[in-house]
Amino acid sequence: MDVEIEKFLDWLVVERGLSNHTIASYSRDLVQFANFAARRGVTNLQNIDEKLILGFLSHLERGRYAAASVARKLSAIRSFLKFLVSERVIDSNPLALVTFSRPARRLPKSLDVAEVAKLLSAPDVRTTLGLRDKAMLETLYATGLRVSELIALRTSDINLDRGFVRCIGKGGKERLVPLGEIASHCIALYISGARDRLAGGMCTEYLFLTNQGRPMSRVMFWKIIKKYARAAGITKEITPHTLRHSFATHLLERGADLRSLQEMLGHASIATTQIYTHVSRDHLREVYRESHPRA
């Protein structure tokens, strides 16, 4: 099975253009399934059946895996089996006629406008790192980019005159997202007052750099946003994705339409974007209760 998993992962890279992060997730999930199958004495791909897969899912549930993690692993197995059928490695897909209930989507956590303002005001812009951090936080909230998209930005991806950012999202898809005046101003200050100092003479196209002149990493930015959340007195659990959720929630609350939001977030399906309508409805109910005399 290991050989076919490697072929499948290569296919995902070449044919679907998935990111390294996504490929790593597929790899972990499928290796875990392969190890489970081997313990059950299943080494021949033709012997993978519905009973084996259901046994694997039960094994995951007993191990207290979150419903979302189980669903992701099942999706990886489904895709792998479809690939094996298309490559004529197996005769039929044992999951072709099997349906599973989808786990309930958790509403994304977001900050309110006041909390976002505190977070964005936390960096000390009198310092080199403060200028960089302010520009990163403002850009993230202004655009709703994924953190992987943010740290991958090149200087050529930013158009400050026209106020937009170009990014490459999931599946290698390119999109343009409005940047806004405040974020544009912060990026301009960072580029003119801090980026060259961070680069230290090194030649690099990446926009946001560490103090060693290297591209910013996901882990480092996660630590940065945690630090400023503490400094701002925000007690909620916060991650880089929190600002993406806040971006989407605040736009919907102020009348943005779902299709435009889908484009800005880079969602392949509007069904993914629709989760934010639940957040918006909660906001409307709260406004109604606070404002209507007979609420």
Q: For residue range 95-105, what is the model confidence (pLDDT) as tens digits? A: 776 665 555 55
Q: For residue range 15-28, what is the model confidence (pLDDT) as tens digits? A: 887 778 889 999 99
- Nearest CA to 224 out of 150, 159, 164 is that of 150
- Name the percent of the chain in helix, strand, coil, to the closest 5: 60, 5, 35
Q: State the pLDDT at residue 110.
A: 83
Above 60 in pLDDT, residue 243? yes
Which band of pLDDT confidence, cut at 50, 70 and 90, is reported for residue 132? very high
Pick the residue with more confidence: 281 or 78? 78
Q: Phi first, then psi: what are they for 94, rounded to 5°?
A: -65, -15
Q: Is 84 helix (H, G, I), strand (E, B) or coil?
A: helix
DSSP-derived secondary structure letter, 87: T
Sign, Cα dihedral of 187, 188, 193, 194:
positive
Encoded tokens for 214: 């290297």
How crowded is the C-beta side of 202, counted as CA atoms within 13 Å?
16
Pick the residue with more confidence: 270 or 77? 77
Mean predicted confidence (pLDDT) in 144-166: 92
- What integer best gives the mean pLDDT of the chain? 86
Residues marked active site are found at 146, 170, 241, 244, 267, 276
CATH 3.40.50.720 for the 2-86 domain, yes or no:
no
Supply the pTM of this predicted model: 0.66
Q: State the pLDDT at residue 241.
A: 86
Q: Is 105 left (phi over 0), alpha (psi -120 to 50) or beta?
A: beta
Above 90 in pLDDT, residue 130? yes
Sign, Cα dihedral of 201, 204, 206, 210:
negative
CATH topology of domain 113-290: hpI Integrase; Chain A (1.10.443)
Q: State the pLDDT at residue 249.
A: 87
Which sequence spans correspond to the domains of the chain?
2-86, 113-290
